[in-house]
Amino acid sequence: MKKWNLVIDVDRCMDCNDCFLADKDEFTGNDFPPYSVAQPWSGHRWMNIMRKERGQYPLVQVAYLPTPCLHCDDAPCIRDSPPGTIYKRADGLVIIDPVKAEGHPEIVNTCPYEVIYWNEEARVAQKCTGCAHLIDDGWLNTRCSQVCPTEAIRLVLADDAEMTSLVAAEGLEVLRPELAAKPRVYYKNLHLWTKAFIAGSVVFSDTDECGEGATAAVSLDGQKIGETTADNYGDFYVDGLEPGGEYTLTVAAAGYASLSQTLKLAQSLNVGRLVLQR
């Protein structure tokens, strides 16, 4: 059967918060039994956009990570909450029963992704429902995917085999795979959030010009794992590196002596100005 999946492209998210506002518009002041009671006016972020800065001035990148409920197939919240308070639908959506879950604040702490909130007025734990009430009405979009101006969020209704193929074709990943929760929210370009880069600015010594076209290669244990070319400002980024590794950076250009340095990469790093000598 067709199941609910959400695909989020980190590279396309501009932190406009349209998804967050659409969620508020849909759920604040509105009950949608049997899936949810009205979301409070403040305090809940059923679509929470997290922010992360990588690098150091002036070579800095900012990534935004929209994070709703991930509707996990092996959901810790179902496993660790009182029986019957949370259940999974056949289409993959994980729902907190607003009646059976009433009076159980401990449910909030069962989610390692921290996407469950406590509604003090209704005395119930709440989260993103995946717009279950709209899906039941035949919608092919959630409110968040409907309003996203950059198409960073898209709803994919597909069977498991189709989704497996899409994951492989687009290089999709899940958030915190070590939890083995099997989320149904997949991310594209997740390296912008989880990995690190080495960046720098190349200058040619004899002309004092930006080192456009210089190559920057990164190796680990003698094996090249990344390479890029400096842009017209002489700037380069080699991304997708695992934090904590010890890497060798080599910068080279035709007619100039190359430069190499070994770097212990705790986080994304701007190595600064690199001057190539004739």
84-121: per-residue pLDDT in tens? 999 999 999 999 999 999 999 999 999 999 999 999 99
Write the pLDDT tens digit of every residue in 11-47.
999 999 999 999 999 999 999 999 999 999 999 999 9
Beta strand 117-119 with 59-67 is unpaired
Same-domain check for residues 47 and 121: yes
Which of 137, 168, 192 marks a domain boundary?
192
Residues 186 and 223 in one domain: no
Q: Which domain holds residue 244?
A: 196-276
Strands 196-204 and 269-276: parallel
Phi, psi dihedral angles at 156 (to 5 degrees): -120, 115
Mark whether 137 and 9 lie in a shared domain.
yes
- Find out whether 89 and 95 touch, Cβ atoms under 8 Å: yes
98 and 133 Cβ atoms separated by less than 8 Å:
no
Measure Cα distances from 80 to 110, 116, 130, 267, 278 in Å: 6, 13, 21, 34, 65
Number of domains in the chain: 2
Instruction: Write down the pLDDT at residue 142.
Output: 98
Query: How high is the mean pLDDT of the chain?
Result: 97
- Domain end residue (candidates: 177, 192, 207): 192
Q: What does the alpha-carbon distance between residue 14 and residue 4 come to, in Å, rounded to a whole number? A: 24
The structure tokens listed for 26 are: 């849909």
